Every structure is written in structure tokens, then in C-alpha cells.
Amino acid sequence: MAELRSAAGRLEATFVPGAGMLGWSLRHDAEELIGHPVSLKAYVKTGEPTGVALLHPWANRLAAPEHEIAGRRVRLDLAAPNVHTDEHGMPIHGLVAGSPRWEVLEETAVRLAARLDFAAAPELRAGFPFAHTLELVAALADDALAIETTLRPTGEEPVPVAFGFHPYLRLPGLDRRDWIVELPVTRRMVLDDRMLPTGESKPVRIPPAPLGDRTFDDAFDGLAGPAEFALRGGGRRVAVRFGEGYRFAQVYAPPGAGFISFEPMTAPINPFASDRTHVAPPGRRTARGSRSQSPRRSGHPESGHSTARAGAPSAPSTRSGRHARRYAPGSTARRSRPSTTATSWPSSARWASPSPIDR
């Protein structure tokens, strides 16, 4: 495990590079902000997300083990140990859960960088035959954990961009009946009995209300901007802010669970069958995603949001080139009156054509 600790020691994070570069813990003033639906051992064995799990090369589920991706026919081996399925036998949550293939590039008290070479891993290439690298950089400040994920095509073929994250959030010391959930959504995707999109979506408005006995396993393709999914109660507010590019969200809160997940996705459920999934062109193009969480405490009310650090933008920008695009989803959390703790978790993804910054 890799332990990060901010300069003032108020923010600590734990990552597990040897298990899919999993974000296992984020502690602010010794309080855990991350939920663990399953143990680390179970995550590695089953691929069931926990902590802050990166889902790649697709988030959520696929309709079938055989599909066409960027003009290539691919068939997944459902018996492969890194291919996981849901209760209907459909592939779910990508291929990298628990992967030991991550190479640590840098590790200091406040920064961790690691890279995954898809082309060099036969078990990954078999299920997603598109050469690319994935690099994740986590940088810790006194008020922010910023995680930037970069996908770079390394072959001659375009690479579909469909990654996402499962951040499981909790309000420590507070029963879920006292958690107020804020969902800035405008359209809910209509799903069939296998949790796959039917192609329809319907207008929806969900007012802030206690989580209580409510449950969620809902997909949304309409988000109000700026989209900030929030959890508040007991004088604390934890939110996930989606910026440009993360146009899809899944909200997951099963019955009685001590967590809720606001899941940013760069593509919809069953992404390889959707014309709304972006593709990174070959060459010196990149697809990048970042998220950060930044807690802090003070003795007076907090009125703003903490923002992404370490190069994780909280607002969209453009870069040169026809395909230039930056996605900037993220999250913030803060304590409001009477006391203040801020926790931000901005996320972004981008893919861009060559520019001087890429060379």
C-alpha cells in the first residue's frame, strides 16, 4: 500500500497500486470519508467495486460478451479471471479491477504516480485489443486529493473512451436516515430488466431529501449544470461535481448500506453500442480524467467550494486541434454552518489532438 499524508497531517490517503491502483481510504482529521462495500481481498477476487475504484475500459455493464468496438469485433472470455459478470451474466466494471500490472513511477509523501500498459498485459489486451497506456497521478494537499487519469493511444488504432469511477461516499458518525441527498439531474435513462438502456430517457426532478429507506440504482443522461451531486448532514456536505465531458451518471445506494455512490461516467451504459461514446484518435492524442477530494475544517462557516488541485481543472477549457476537448467533473464537500469542513472531489477527462503541451 502507498500512504499519502498532507503537509499539515490533516488529510491522509491510501492507495493500493498492486490491486488496480485502488483508492482505499481518504481520512480527514482521522475520519473516514470513503465507504467499503466489500473487502480489498473480495475486490481483487470478484471485481466488485469498493473504495474509489477505477472502471476501465468500460464502466457499468455491456449487453453481451461479443461486441464491435471502433470497427473491430471483440469477444470476451467470460471464464477469464479478470472478466466479471453481473447477475444476468453480462460483463461489468471493465477489466482492470485488482490488476497487479501497475508500475509505480513516483512516490513521495504527497504524490503517487503509476502507469498501466495495456498492450503489455495479455489478459487485458485479450478483452480490449487497443494499445494504450493508462497513467494515474494522485496528489495530496492539505485540503485536496487530486487524482488525474490519462489514457494515451500507443498504436495505430483509435481507442474508445468509456472509463468511469465508483467513489463510495459516507458521512461518518451519522445514520443514513439523516443524510440529505441532492441530485442535479434532468433526465433519467429508461432501463430494461437487465439494467440496459432502452434508448429512451424521461424528464425527472428529484428534490433534496433524506436518503432514509430510499434506494438508488439509476442512470442519468441529463445533468443540470454545474452538476454537483451532494450528500449533507450533521453540519457536513460532501459533493461530487461533474464538469464538461462526464455527461452520464449512475447513482447507487442499495437498501441499508452505509454509503452512496455518485458515479461519473465518460460514456453511457453499454458504451460500445452507443454513438455517444467518444473515441481517442491514434497518434499523440490523450484521454484524461482527474478527480480530487479536499477536506478542511475551520471555526467559521464555509461559503465556497474547494476546487481541484494538481492540474485537475474544475471548469472546461479547450485546446488546439479539431478534436480538442477537456472534461472536468469533480466533487466538493464542505461543512456548512455551524462548522466547516470542505471536501472536494473534482474529476475531469479529456482527449485532445497534438499540441505543444503534448510533445
pLDDT tens digit sequence for 4-19: 999 999 889 999 999 9
As a whole number of angstroms, the distance between CA 237 and CA 167 comes to 15
Total domains in the fold of the chain: 1
> Is the pLDDT assigned to residue 358 strictly greater than 90?
no
pLDDT at 244: 60
pLDDT at 155: 93
Position of cell 454513438?
A: 275
pLDDT at 243: 59
Contact between residue 293 and residue 309 where contact means Cβ atoms under 8 Å apart = no
As a whole number of angstroms, the distance between CA 140 and CA 4 comes to 7
Contact between residue 153 and residue 159 where contact means Cβ atoms under 8 Å apart = yes
Question: Average pLDDT for residues 75-102, to the nearest whole number?
Answer: 96
pLDDT at 38: 96
CATH of the domain at 128: 2.70.98.10
Alpha helices, DSSP H, located in the chain: 40-46, 122-125
CA atoms within 13 A on the CB side of 24: 19
Tell me how crowded residue 25 is: count the other CB atoms within 10 A of its CB.
19
Give the burial class of 64: count Cβ atoms within 10 A of its Cβ; 0-12 exposed, 13-18 middle, 19 or more buried. Answer: middle
pLDDT tens digit sequence for 21-33? 999 998 988 899 8
* Joined grid coordinates for residue 71: 470497427
Give the burial class of 136: count Cβ atoms within 10 A of its Cβ; 0-12 exposed, 13-18 middle, 19 or more buried. Answer: buried
> Is the pLDDT assigned to residue 305 strictly greater than 80?
no
> Is the pLDDT assigned to residue 234 strictly greater than 90?
no
Contact between residue 325 and residue 317 where contact means Cβ atoms under 8 Å apart = no
pLDDT interval class at 89 (50, 70, 90): very high
Contact between residue 127 and residue 135 where contact means Cβ atoms under 8 Å apart = no
Tell me how crowded residue 196 is: count the other CB atoms within 10 A of its CB.
21
Question: Average pLDDT for residues 91-101, to the nearest whole number?
Answer: 96
> Is the pLDDT assigned to residue 37 strictly greater than 50?
yes
As a whole number of angstroms, the distance between CA 42 and CA 115 comes to 23
pLDDT at 310: 24
Percent of the chain at pLDDT > 90 equals 62
> Is the pLDDT assigned to residue 295 strictly greater than 70?
no
pLDDT tens digit sequence for 245-279? 788 999 999 999 999 999 989 899 999 999 999 99
* Joined grid coordinates for residue 211: 436518503
Residue 139 lies in domain: 2-358
Stated length of the chain: 359
* Joined grid coordinates for residue 196: 440496459
